[in-house]
Amino acid sequence: MQGLRRQLLPLLAWVAVALLLRWAVLEPRWIPSGSMLPTLQLQDRVLVEKVRTRLHRPLPVGTVVVFHPPQALQAVGYAPDAALIKRVVARAGDQVEVRQGQLWRNGSVVAQDWAAEAMTYSLPPLTVPPGHLLVLGDNRNASLDSHLWGPLPEGQLIGAAVWRYWPLQRFGAIRFSPTPDEPVPPRELG
């Protein structure tokens, strides 16, 4: 009996550490839809870093986030524990609009907004309220996102998608948008 306990205790300790890491630090997720094309493909597997959201640290514009559905989506049938993935395009205090097929933030066209094509919808000017983010899919014309249901409460965040681990041919960091003052290197376009 003591030999069995000696073997089980380390195993149980490792399981406890793994569960703690998954709950608080890093969580695997898979991509179920095409709303983030071309950045993330259907069935991609990503790692979601949860520390920044748990510590209430601001997420930069361009961060790909995973979150629970906001109330508006829960009201139409989304499970509260479901997970969605989109890109942060504006933070609290930013004024955002979509006009002429382009995303505008604080009066300027967003030069690199990761959209695969021009948007076929408009979004009247809105100021992102405190404690909220505006999130859009990279496949803007086929994404159920903030242009339809409004700003995302930060309390709904699970974390930031930081690494694609499957498929192996696309293994690596998930690209973030450059800041408005940062030039876009040619190899990162498209």
Catalytically active residues, by annotation: 35, 86
Instruction: Write out the two tokens for 124.
Output: 């009247």
Distance of CA 43 to the CA centre of its chain: 16
Q: Using an 8 Å Cβ cutoff, are 40 and 31 in contact? A: yes
Instruction: Write out the two tokens for 154.
Output: 């930060």
Which amino acid type is present at position 103? Answer: L
Instruction: Write out the two tokens for 76.
Output: 């139409």
Q: Using an 8 Å Cβ cutoff, are 156 and 69 in contact? A: yes
Helix, strand, coil percentages, rounded to 5, for the chain: 25, 30, 45
Give φ, ψ of 180 to 5 degrees.
-55, -30
Cβ neighbors of 16 (< 8 A, separation 6 or more) are none
